[in-house]
């Protein structure tokens, strides 16, 4: 149960972000539903006529976001930045200071990361990098301010 704050708005809006973690597609747990799987109720009244929207996670939509220097949101949030390179090559992005989300570099979706694993580092192919300025967009579900980000061309696994 979630308690909503009081408001003077006669038509308040509640937005709910539901993450699709994946599904079991075999065996006795085949009906492994995610998201809102039953009715939605507010103050004892079942809400009707509510809408579901997908949060577009493709570069053409992310590129339209307006980023500011000021932290104006709490988690989940999108973060944008850039880095400059004198030479390019394959590398790994160290996302160990981030919590859970995904990364785009120069319009390419590198994949998902999660601080509990298995993905804490993401492989970034050198062909997706360019000399000069490179763009990065990170969507993190759990942190409310940007964290440090680093890369390395090789990791010592010892």
Q: What is the pTM of this model?
A: 0.77
Tell me what the mean pLDDT of segment 148-152 comes to.
85
Q: Give mean pLDDT, residues 87-114.
A: 92
In angstroms, rounded to a whole number, what is the distance separating the alpha carbons of residues 20 and 18? 6
> What is the strand order of the sheet 121-124 is part of?
121-124, 91-94, 150-152
Domains and their CATH numbers in the chain: 59-152 (2.60.120.260)
Q: Kindly report, residue by residue over 4-55, the tens digit of the pLDDT.
A: 788 898 887 777 777 776 666 677 767 766 677 778 887 788 888 777 777 8
H or E stretch at 59: helix 59-62
Contact 38, 80 (CB under 8 A): no
């Amino acid at each position: 149960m979630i308690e909503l704050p009081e408001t003077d708005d006669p038509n308040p809006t509640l937005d709910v972000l539901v993450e699709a973690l994946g599904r079991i597609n075999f065996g006795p747990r085949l009906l492994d539903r995610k998201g809102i799987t039953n009715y939605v109720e507010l103050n004892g009244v079942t809400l009707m006529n509510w809408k579901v929207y997908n949060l577009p996670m493709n570069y053409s939509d992310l590129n339209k976001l307006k980023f500011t220097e000021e932290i104006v949101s709490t988690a989940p949030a999108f973060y944008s930045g850039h880095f400059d390179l004198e030479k390019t090559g394959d590398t790994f992005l160290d996302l160990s200071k981030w919590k859970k989300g995904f990364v785009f570099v120069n319009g390419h979706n590198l994949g998902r990361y999660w601080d509990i694993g298995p993905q804490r580092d993401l492989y970034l192919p050198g062909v997706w990098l360019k000399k000069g300025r490179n763009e990065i967009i990170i969507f993190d579900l759990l942190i409310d301010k940007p964290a440090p980000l680093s890369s390395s061309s090789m990791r010592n696994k010892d």
